[in-house]
Chains A and B, each alone.
Chain A
């Protein structure tokens, strides 16, 4: 598998008569976009707005963020199982509108979606304040059950990203990154003197609005399996989450999966990065045992020396994280874990719901309970009322002056456990 990622840098976004990219400016024909993503009888209305870095704009409640991409060469198309057929992706060439994203919002789905501030102190915590966002406001029909609402808005976001991504098809990229993922035996032959490293990619699958999909399959229903690292760059994994926004991976995070990008930095020099084990975080003990046993088994079949294990979510999945760690370490496979923390607003509580002495190497995305006050913004896209009830909010979060005092848990991507951000925490 050899995948070229052609990055087209987007400096600005605007509405216009033709949806296109010209000299780094993305123009969107609003009517055409709305037409492309309309038609779901569960959705009453759709509107589109723009939000750019530095603007005094708050987007709330944010459901998903998706990067526009288009497959220009090679097998399959973007978002297999959703927008494209379920061909195996991850080879050929894909163009990316780097610096642009589709953000979905509308009436709150559950308790759970997040906040993106395009400026002010909250902007520091979310990577999406630094990109040009095309915001889709999709309002559901009355009395639509939450899971139907989530499914409808999820699909609208993917369609919008694919439609906008298409503008990059015939544009000469500003930069091209090449990723090579070799078949296992070829790789071990080529890098015979190097230790073997894999990425154990834990995907949110607690259900009830905590969901992830791989090639269109609900991850709850998979048994852990092995994929080429490049498959995720073409949208093999997408988000179905509407939950505590700080540490759920948006589809954007999966498309730009940072552990994979950074493991490639030292691939062939310090180690042989053999690929990715994807696993789930189901809620029953039997599921947890089965999945962690499978992770350990795949790791032994691949004769791994070490692995990075990343978590998604908190509480219940802490148990999966620790099981994966223990079962790898006991086989002599060295692990580094990536998590975040719920140490209380004062930072004085235990950060995880499970722990084990085997977990000697842990990277943290920070304490999600820290409280922040987000000043009022000139413009709100979406609905500000959920501030009191989204995860991280509390009665009185939304002040009369429009400012919001919340835990950073409410900010989209704030404590991401793929290691997308620079934030960490330390003991005092």
Chain B
């Protein structure tokens, strides 16, 4: 195979533009290698070549995120690299964040990214899933070790066609990505053997380390619901009859937004559930059981609730990943806020 084409990302300092006084420069692209790119290119010369270097000021990147990311996107489209190397960023927070954003943009295009940072750089925790991040020292004094580490990793990545192996074996921060594999023993026997070790207080390794959950604090109550604009949102899968958006019965890849101004209530003829996690008979008979449209309309009529938003939003919670659920919630919330909605009745199943 011909040499892989690499695009290298650097900040203003390592890109040899200047120090903090140049941190607000906008993105630029150069032919060939700059700064630490020289040594990387030398080490990789048999398998790859840094064809272009993108440089951006750390302040500019973090303060003009949309513009900076759009510029990176354009450079990637122009250069079409096989790989991106970003940094190393050591413990420079803004630089680490910029490298992370570059990784996110490249990951969306399916381009693998390799970067290197100190373990406490905020970029590690936020962006580990988009890039292979190799551990470094906390300052540029660690450059002499970081460069060969990146070279070795890139070589391994190319040799193994991206199958570098586990974080421990290949030396990168765990990306939080779960991958299936077939173990030697069945799960029940693995459990029994783990139990024996735990009983004997011998060392054992859990197959799923517990995650840190973000707990959502409830909002304060609505001051006067009789004046508030209320919206109906559900993860119970209530959609117009026929499921026009074909929302999946499990692992929903989307949500729907549906007009309710013409409806007095849900009926067997105008709605159904797309949800695959429960017996749909009673929801299909009367979807008000899942989304209380009838009662809310009554209460609006009686003046107990201010007004009802013209649309309801629906997705299926069944088996849907947390990341997708968060994304739908962010989109729906943006919409609701723009339309002046002050309160939401959120129903699950």
Are the CB atoms of A395 and B180 closer together than 8 Å?
no
| Contact status of A426 and B318, CB under 8 A, knowing A361-B198, A363-B207 | no
Interface flag for B251 (CB, 8 Å): yes
Residues of chain B contacted by A416 (CB below 8 angstroms): 187
Q: Which of A238-283 contact B (CB under 8 A)?
A: 243-244, 258-259, 261-263, 265-266, 270-271
Q: How far is the CB of B215 from chain A (nearest CB, A)?
A: 11
CB-contact partner of B191 in A145, A209, A308, A314, under 8 A: A308
Residues of chain B contacted by A407 (CB below 8 angstroms): 250-251, 319
| Contact status of A422 and B186, CB under 8 A, knowing A334-B195, A364-B207, A392-B250 | yes
Residues of chain B contacted by A360 (CB below 8 angstroms): 198, 206, 210
Interface flag for A46 (CB, 8 Å): no
Interface flag for A362 (CB, 8 Å): yes
Interface centre among B129, B181, B192, B277 (most CB of A within 10 A): B192
How many positions in chain B have a CB within 8 Å of any CB in the partner chain?
Answer: 55
Are the CB atoms of A392 and B166 closer together than 8 Å?
no
Report whether over half of chain A's contact residues are helix, strand or loop; otherwise say mixed.
loop
Q: How far is the CB of A377 from chain B (nearest CB, A)?
A: 22
CB-contact partner of A308 in B182, B192, B210, B277, under 8 A: B192
| Interface 1/0 per residue, B158-185 and A, CB below 8 Å | 0000000011000000111111111111
Q: Which residue of B lies closest to A389 (CB)?
A: B249
Interface flag for B270 (CB, 8 Å): no
Residues of chain A contacted by B322 (CB below 8 angstroms): 344, 349-350
Q: Which residue of A lies closest to B324 (CB)?
A: A344
| Contact status of A306 and B208, CB under 8 A, knowing A348-B129, A422-B186 | no
CB-contact partner of B318 in A261, A315, A423, A424, under 8 A: A315
CB-contact partner of A258 in B175, B186, B279, B324, under 8 A: B186
Q: How far is the CB of A147 from chain B (nearest CB, A)?
A: 6
Interface flag for A420 (CB, 8 Å): yes
Q: Which of A369-425 contact B (CB under 8 A)?
A: 369-370, 388-395, 407-409, 416-425
Q: How far is the CB of A312 from chain B (nearest CB, A)?
A: 13
Q: How far is the CB of B171 from chain A (nearest CB, A)?
A: 13
Are the CB atoms of A344 and B323 closer together than 8 Å?
yes
In the bound assembly, the distance between CA atoms of A288 and B81 in angstroms comes to 53
Report whether over half of chain B's contact residues are helix, strand or loop; otherwise say mixed.
loop
Stretch of A128-136, A174-182, A216-224, A351-359 on the interface side: A351-359
Q: Which residue of B lies closest to A334 (CB)?
A: B198
Are the CB atoms of B321 and A356 closer together than 8 Å?
no
Interface flag for B190 (CB, 8 Å): yes
Q: How far is the CB of B120 from chain A (nearest CB, A)?
A: 20
Stretch of A27-35, A63-71, A154-162, A335-343 on the interface side: A335-343
In the bound assembly, the distance between CA atoms of A208 and B275 in angstroms comes to 12
| Contact status of A208 and B182, CB under 8 A, knowing A345-B251, A420-B188, A424-B190 | no
In the bound assembly, the distance between CA atoms of A206 and B209 in angstroms comes to 26
Interface flag for B45 (CB, 8 Å): no
Interface flag for A195 (CB, 8 Å): yes
CB-contact partner of B210 in A261, A356, A363, A423, under 8 A: A356
Are the CB atoms of B184 and A110 closer together than 8 Å?
no
Are the CB atoms of A244 and B208 closer together than 8 Å?
no
Are the CB atoms of B207 and A424 closer together than 8 Å?
yes
Interface flag for A203 (CB, 8 Å): no
In the bound assembly, the distance between CA atoms of A367 and B322 in angstroms comes to 14
Q: How far is the CB of B222 from chain A (nearest CB, A)?
A: 24
In the bound assembly, the distance between CA atoms of A423 and B190 in angstroms comes to 11
Residues of chain A contacted by B321 (CB below 8 angstroms): 342-345, 349, 369
Residues of chain A contacted by B188 (CB below 8 angstroms): 258-259, 261-262, 338, 418-420
| Contact status of A351 and B208, CB under 8 A, knowing A315-B319, A421-B186 | yes
| Contact status of A244 and B250, CB under 8 A, knowing A259-B188, A336-B198 | yes
**Can you list 16 A-B contacts (CB < 8 A)?**
A111-B250, A146-B280, A243-B277, A244-B277, A271-B196, A315-B277, A334-B195, A347-B179, A350-B322, A351-B211, A352-B211, A357-B210, A359-B210, A364-B187, A423-B180, A426-B207
